[in-house]
């Protein structure tokens, strides 16, 4: 075999090996995809059943406390709009909390309040320092992804308004607060037991708690 023939052979051999390696990688990718599909198909029904079982058990647990909630309202004058209720056994070793999350929401009148507050705040921008402060305060009026103000930020605005003593600023914040109309979101249930050291240890009730 001449040097030229050997060079051609080596090039052919290298190309063949490269092609074989590419074919193997493709085959491995296909095998991986197939394995993932099979695993998902096998596991998903089990996870769905677990999720449904957890939801049913949580609902049953909440219903089981309905009588206790009614008696609690009668005995202690607890309002029906209370967001959460915690029950602890007599020994103080187990406790269960049931409730619902609240989402910040506002009536349309909030826009008038925001406009009044912005008008006052922007009027205070007289130099670079005050303009920077104005921008920082205006961030308190920024809305979340749902388009709502954060109630905690409105409280900060209230303190600022009271400190200034400006009637328009105070009135604007008051309108925002009066427009507040929180809406109930998801219900939840939490359970915990005391460990040997006396600390509360949460019982995992979510599929993500593993």
End-to-end CA distance of the chain: 65
Average pLDDT over residues 170-199: 91
- Does 93 score more than 60 pLDDT? yes
Helix axes 110-123, 167-178, angle to 10 degrees: 150
pLDDT in tens, 157-178: 899 889 888 898 899 999 999 9
Of the candidates 68, 83, 168, 181, the residue with the CA atom closest to the CA atom of residue 118: 168
């Amino acid at each position: 075999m001449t040097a030229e023939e050997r060079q051609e052979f080596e090039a052919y051999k290298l190309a063949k090996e490269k092609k074989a390696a590419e074919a193997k990688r493709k085959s491995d990718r296909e095998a991986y995809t197939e394995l993932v599909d099979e695993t998902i198909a096998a596991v998903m029904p089990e996870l769905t059943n677990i999720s449904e079982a957890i939801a049913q058990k949580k609902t049953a647990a909440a219903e089981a406390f309905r009588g206790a909630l009614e008696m609690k309202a009668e005995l202690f004058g607890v309002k029906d709009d209370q967001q959460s209720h915690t029950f602890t056994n007599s020994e103080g070793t187990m406790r269960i909390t049931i409730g619902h999350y609240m989402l910040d929401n506002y009536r349309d009148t909030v826009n008038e309040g925001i406009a009044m507050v912005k008008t006052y705040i922007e009027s205070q921008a007289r130099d670079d320092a005050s303009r920077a402060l104005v921008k920082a305060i205006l961030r308190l009026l920024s809305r979340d992804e749902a388009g709502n103000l954060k109630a905690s930020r409105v409280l900060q605005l209230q303190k600022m308004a009271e400190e200034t003593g400006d009637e328009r600023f105070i009135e604007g914040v008051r309108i925002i607060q009066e427009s507040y109309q929180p809406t109930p979101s998801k219900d939840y249930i939490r359970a915990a037991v005391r460990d040997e050291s006396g600390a509360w240890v949460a019982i995992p009730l979510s599929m993500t708690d593993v």
